[in-house]
């Protein structure tokens, strides 16, 4: 499927090298298509180059290939299932709106299942947010009078809780979250990051250990760089081993301000 705003030729390479790009996420998302033989040749070449230098992604692709072999063997030994009937499918809608904050305007999006996107408008504009939501198979639409009650209520609650957080009256968020389209690896990283308490710090290596992949510190950093819900999922609390601040998609100035708000200090 071609996504809006992405050229079909070498789109993985283009996306992986763009601003805020996270190659491991792109690689993991492309692996099923590679195993099935549906990946564009240019994208397949980029994926193979990436896994040749990334041990973690290499292991993931190897696991996909082994699973495909086992499934093929099972089909050969048993009766092949009837061809699946593909029915038209409607993409879920993600309704987005702006929200002011002390660190600049934020763009938020919510589906019927929960808050699904939060980004700094100074870093990503509306068009890029639309593209990011489309990559996760959402139909992005601006919030307005026609917004259904559930996503509308989620956007209102998110704005209220963010205001409380910046006003020093809230230390954790209580919102339904929708992680549709996020890879399993990234989801495990986000879940571990969400458990880091207010005002505390964890390292990329520590998050990697929490998810049972102690050698995947770099992949953890890449996954957090595409955290769809910064602040709410507090990737600003994850820093480099040895006391360095690490990176931050919205810029280090915002990361430093969030840590200062929480009273967290680097070693």
What percentage of the chain carries pLDDT values higher than 90? Answer: 60
What CATH number does residue 164 fall under? Answer: 3.30.160.70
Closest CA to 52 of 40, 64, 61: 61
Q: What is the pLDDT of residues 73-124, one digit of tens each?
A: 444 445 455 566 665 668 999 999 999 999 999 999 999 999 999 999 988 8
The predicted structure's pLDDT at residue 11: 66
Q: Per the domain annotation, does 199 fall within a domain?
A: yes
- Per the residue annotation, which of 24, 54, 57, 235 is the catalytic one? 235
Are residues 198 and 153 part of one domain?
Answer: no
Q: What is the pLDDT of residues 161-191, one digit of tens each?
A: 999 999 999 999 999 999 999 999 999 999 9
The predicted structure's pLDDT at residue 118: 97
How large is the average pLDDT for residues 32-52? 76
The predicted structure's pLDDT at residue 42: 77
* 57 catalytic per annotation: no
- Among 149, 164, 180, the domain boundary falls at 180
Q: What are phi and psi of 78, to 5 degrees?
A: -115, -170
- pLDDT band with cut points at 50, 70 and 90 for residue 54: confident
The count of domains in the chain is 3
How large is the average pLDDT for residues 235-259? 92
Are residues 60 and 15 part of one domain?
Answer: yes
The predicted structure's pLDDT at residue 98: 96
How large is the average pLDDT for residues 49-77? 67
Range of the domain at 102: 90-180
pTM: 0.68
Q: Per the domain annotation, does 74 fall within a domain?
A: no
Q: Are 207 and 46 in contact (CB under 8 A)?
A: no
Q: Per the domain annotation, does 80 fall within a domain?
A: no
Are residues 31 and 42 part of one domain?
Answer: yes
- Among 19, 39, 69, the domain boundary falls at 69
What CATH number does residue 229 fall under? Answer: 1.10.10.10
The mean pLDDT of the chain is 85
- Among 121, 152, 180, the domain boundary falls at 180
Are residues 106 and 54 part of one domain?
Answer: no
Q: What is the pLDDT of residues 189-222, one digit of tens each?
A: 999 999 999 999 999 999 999 999 999 999 999 9
Helices (H), 198-251: 204-210, 217-225
Q: Rounded to an integer, what distance in angstroms lies between the CA atom of residue 43 and that of residue 41?
A: 5
Q: Per the domain annotation, does 98 fall within a domain?
A: yes
Q: Rounded to an integer, what distance in angstroms lies between the CA atom of residue 267 and that of residue 265?
A: 6
Token couple for 53:
């230098």
Higher pLDDT, 80 or 159: 159
- pLDDT band with cut points at 50, 70 and 90 for residue 158: very high
Are residues 197 and 164 part of one domain?
Answer: no
- pLDDT band with cut points at 50, 70 and 90 for residue 36: low
Q: Per the domain annotation, does 97 fall within a domain?
A: yes
The predicted structure's pLDDT at residue 70: 52
Q: Per the domain annotation, does 219 fall within a domain?
A: yes
């Amino acid at each position: 499927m071609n996504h809006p705003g992405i050229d079909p030729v070498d789109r993985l390479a283009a996306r992986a090298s763009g601003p805020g790009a996270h190659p491991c996420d792109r690689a993991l998302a492309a692996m099923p298509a590679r195993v099935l033989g549906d990946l564009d040749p240019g994208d397949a070449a980029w994926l193979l180059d990436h896994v040749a230098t990334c041990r973690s992604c290499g292991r993931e692709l190897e696991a996909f290939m082994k699973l495909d072999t086992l499934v093929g063997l099972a089909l050969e030994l048993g009766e092949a299932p009837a061809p699946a009937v593909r029915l038209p499918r409607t993409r879920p809608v993600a309704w987005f709106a702006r929200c002011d904050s002390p660190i600049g305007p934020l763009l938020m999006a919510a589906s019927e299942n929960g808050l699904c996107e939060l980004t700094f408008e100074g870093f990503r504009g509306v068009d890029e947010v639309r593209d990011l939501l489309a990559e996760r198979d959402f139909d992005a639409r601006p919030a307005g009078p026609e917004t259904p009650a559930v996503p509308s209520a989620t956007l209102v609650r998110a704005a209220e809780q963010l205001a409380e957080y910046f006003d020093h009256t809230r230390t954790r968020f209580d919102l339904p979250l929708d992680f549709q389209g996020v890879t399993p690896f990234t989801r495990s990283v986000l879940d571990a990051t969400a458990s880091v308490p207010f005002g505390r710090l964890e390292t990329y290596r520590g998050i990697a250990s929490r998810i049972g992949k102690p050698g995947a510190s770099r992949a953890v950093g890449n996954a957090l760089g595409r955290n769809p819900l910064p602040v709410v999922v507090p990737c600003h609390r994850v820093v480099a081993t040895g006391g360095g601040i690490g990176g931050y998609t919205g810029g280090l100035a915002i990361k430093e301000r969030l840590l200062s708000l929480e009273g967290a200090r680097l070693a």
